[in-house]
Amino acid sequence: MELWHERNREEIEKFSGEYVEFINTALTERLAIEFYKDLLEKNGFVPLQSFTGKEEKVYYVNKNKSLIAARIVDHPKYGFNIIAAHVDAPRIDLKPNPLYEDEGIAMMKTHYYGGVKLYQWYNIPLALVGVIVKEDGSKIDIKIGIEESDPVFVLPDILPHLDRKDQNVSEKFQGEKMNLIVGSIPLKGEEKKPVKKYILKLLKEKYDISEEDFVSADLELVPAVKAREVGFDRSFIGAYGHDDRICSYQAVRALIDAETLEKSAAIILFDKEEIGSEGDVGAKARFYKKFFRKILKVFGENDTEYALDELVENSFVISADVAALINPTFKDVHDKYNAPKAGNGIALVKYTGIRGKAGASEAHAETVAHVRRVLNKAGIKWQVATLGKIGIGGGGTVAKFLAQEGFSVIDMGPGLISMHSPYELVSKVDLYESYLSYRELISKR
């Protein structure tokens, strides 16, 4: 807790303010990647297709949902210091055929994404954000519910007067009952589904959207709430999407802000971590290998497979993801000797997994020693972390997928309170200390 008095308060507040601007903008993975692409270009990074080997800074965007960027100061086969994070967050998605009418109300069907407590998403203002791709390939960006003048959307719950039946939470709150209210005015003169038809008329007039267009859309429901300072002392930031856009922001800033690199450095930002890193934009995908092979080719390596093996063997990876802080109200689920506390700096997670470390990525002792050495020498505060008591907690990150490729990996990041909720909390000093940690580790051999 003394960290608040060891760091420059103005620097903490400045970095926190810049982060708040980002988290209020990056409401989806697409918007996060768009934000980073612009930021990287403003700081001299060139797209991979333009890379000749003479430039130090290069980036590649994969399908608008994932990204890799690097600063190259040596032959790439000698390896990189890499920070890998993800940009997706738990949320509610629209189903492919969402719109229907029932009892004079237009509704939309949804499907939750990632590990969420369903009851937390009822009766809060939601924004609809994403993209619709029409049959001709044109794209329509959707962002409704963000501006004060916008309407918002709601997943309605049942009133307590009519909800007296004793049930488990899993029985009471079910995914198929998370149906969104989108309107109630009927189209004049229509007898069959008049409210639905009026909504379709509005969508056509304002956005040129037909009902079939929902099939080829990525539309997400996110809390229509801005990030705010929390507490009398304003020491926390409350926001949607800290997990894990917070680490992606710290990673990009660390790569840009590092003044001197002793080794080439890179950041990889994945999608789909919250559902197991699947698909062609997650940590199981090949896009980052393509990036490294292209770089190796430009540097004259003809056998890029062998050179890529060398690159991997000589690299160090931070799997940047958030940790679970001790919540004073629910501290019984933690092992207090191995759980992070607010205001105590970045959390080092030697292993993940559940129960007997099933599904874990465990950092080697040598890797942890390297992190200790670099951070201690720089005077950066760190603490150990596990995700709950044995048999109670557990989870994973992108670490195990990178470890399977041969990278030396360690999990580390800032702690959160109320992780995976629509409004997570992070300590400003932990936010800043984690950024300093990434910046230091990405710079040193």
At residue 1, does pLDDT exceed 70? no
Place of tokens 């229907």: 100
Place of tokens 């290069």: 58
Measured distance CA(266)–CA(442) in Å, rounded:
8
At residue 163, does pLDDT exceed 90? no
At residue 171, does pLDDT exceed 90? no
Over residues 401-410, the mean pLDDT reads 96
pLDDT at residue 304, rounded to an integer: 92
Worst-scoring range by mean pLDDT, 41-55, 230-244, 356-370? 356-370
Place of tokens 């909720």: 421
pLDDT at residue 396, rounded to an integer: 77
pLDDT in tens, 267-323: 999 999 999 999 999 999 999 999 999 999 999 999 999 999 999 999 999 999 999
pLDDT in tens, 339-376: 999 999 999 999 988 888 888 889 999 999 999 999 99
Greater confidence (169 vs 173) lies with 173
Which residues lie across from 108 on neighbouring strands? 99, 180
Place of tokens 């003479």: 54
Peptide bond into 244 cis (omega under 30): yes
Over residues 397-416, the mean pLDDT reads 96
Which residues lie across from 318 on neighbouring strands? 83, 410
Domains recognised in the chain with CATH numbers? 3-89+240-443 (3.40.630.10), 91-223 (2.30.250.10)
Measured distance CA(258)–CA(145) in Å, rounded:
37
CB burial readout 128-144, b (16+ within 10 A) else e: bbbbbeeeeeeeeebeb
Measured distance CA(381)–CA(376) in Å, rounded:
8
Mean pLDDT score of the chain: 95
At residue 394, does pLDDT exceed 80? no
Worst-scoring range by mean pLDDT, 37-46, 105-114, 155-164, 430-439? 155-164
pLDDT at residue 322, rounded to an integer: 96
Measured distance CA(18)–CA(119) in Å, rounded:
31
What single DSSP character describes residue 154? B
Over residues 20-34, the mean pLDDT reads 97
pLDDT at residue 139, rounded to an integer: 96
Over residues 254-277, the mean pLDDT reads 97
pLDDT at residue 188, rounded to an integer: 94
Over residues 237-255, the mean pLDDT reads 97
